[in-house]
Amino acid sequence: MIIKILTDVRSRYDGYKSLTGSFDIACKLKSEIVILDFEAVQFFDANLCAILGAYIEIFKNNDNRVQISNLKNSIRTVFRKNAFLNEFDEEILDDIHSTSIKYRKFIPSDDHAFKNYVKTELLGKNDFPSHSLLLGQKIIENIFELYENARTHGQCDFIHTCGQYFPQHESKPLRFTIVDTGVNIKENVSAYLVKDIKSTDAIQWAIQKGNTTKSGSIPGGLGLDIIFQFIKLNNGKIQIVSSDGFWEYKNGYINTQMLDFSFRGTIANLEFNLNDNNHYHLSDEKYDMDVDNLF
């Protein structure tokens, strides 16, 4: 079956709408050849390869074979540089400008693989970041928080990641996308609250500090808020797609919209502003904490 992607795909509502709309029917196919047709696509945000990878996982779990057709050369080049086309046995192209953060999929139980990936793909970049070690540290920590959130709540077989860095743009954005096809936020929060709630409301609930669906001996309810607070300070962007809900924070505003079709898991896209000149704590001098009052 040929599945046409009908529009350009960028990291915004219409991009997520396009992908979820195009691929919904293919999620129901079994034991077929699924051909992803990019003829109508002039531009595809590289970080969203994480979503493509997640859909391919879904298709393959249903014993489908997946092919890609009619990729524009410009998109093919990017998909080779970020190693996404490695899935289709196309050789990786040398990323001479070092702006790709490679597509990878991780087994949630493998702690070390993601750490090594972050160190290679982010810390290994010459230009990351150019002016503030602490900014870089905070960005990395936010990425680890998001990954850990996906591991803990997604209960998934794989976590897909991909990113892209734009050092030539004024704000030097770094986009990083994490996707899982496990239990989505609407399912988790509805089960926790014992009531069916709208997907965008579920995402809004999950973002709030102190809200968690955890109930065991390890507390929760901080990870997404920590990321959210940093993104606000950094003047970045955060987007979450889960089930049929789209949630976005940027420029001081929260925007939520419904999608026509659901994504079974969760997509989280972070955009960091590497031209951030905020005054973070610049000193990394160590000292003993005031332990009398900590606990």
Partner 1 sequence: MSNTVKITDIINGDTAVSTSEGNSIYALINENLKNKRVVIVDFEGVKFLTTAFLNAALGQLYSNTYSSEFLNEHLKIRNVTKSNVSMFEIVITRAKEYFRDKDGFEGTADSSLYGK
Place of tokens 């953060």: 101
User: Hey, which residues between 125 and 164 contact partner 1 (CB under 8 A)?
Assistant: 134, 137-138, 140-141, 144-145, 148-149, 151-152
- The least CB distance from residue 114 to partner 1, in Å, is 9
Is 277 an interacting residue with respect to partner 1 (CB under 8 A)? no
Can you tell me which of 70, 132, 155, 211 binds partner 1, judged by CB under 8 A? 211
Helical spans, DSSP H, in 194-285? 199-207, 223-234
Q: How many residues bind partner 1 (CB under 8 A)?
A: 48
User: Token pair for residue 46?
Assistant: 């590289």
Q: Binding residue for partner 1 (CB under 8 A) from 28, 30, 279, 281? A: 281
CB of 213 to partner 1, least distance (A): 10
By CB under 8 A, tell whether 92 contacts partner 1.
no
CA of residue 288 relative to chain centroid, distance = 36
User: Which of 53, 223, 236, 265 forms a contact with partner 1 (CB under 8 A)?
Assistant: 223
Q: Quick one: tokens of 172?
A: 């030097």
Cβ of residue 59: shortest distance to partner 1, in angstroms? 30
Contact between 201 and partner 1 per CB under 8 A: yes
122-128 long-range Cβ contacts below 8 angstroms, 24+ apart: 122/163, 125/98, 125/165, 126/98, 127/98, 127/165, 127/167, 128/165, 128/174, 128/274
Question: In this chain, which stretch among 81-89, 242-250, 263-271, 283-291 interacts with partner 1, using CB under 8 A?
Answer: 283-291
CA pair distance 68, 52, nearest whole angstrom: 11
Q: Rule CB under 8 A: say whether 291 interacts with partner 1.
A: yes
Closer residue to partner 1 in complex, CB, 15/223: 223
Q: Supply the minimum distance, in Å, between the C-beta of residue 170 and partner 1.
A: 26
Question: And the tokens for 79?
Answer: 């998909």
Quick one: which H or E segment has residue 34? strand 33-37
Within 167-186, the residues that bind partner 1 by CB under 8 A are: none
Say if residues 112 and 59 touch (Cβ distance below 8 Å): no
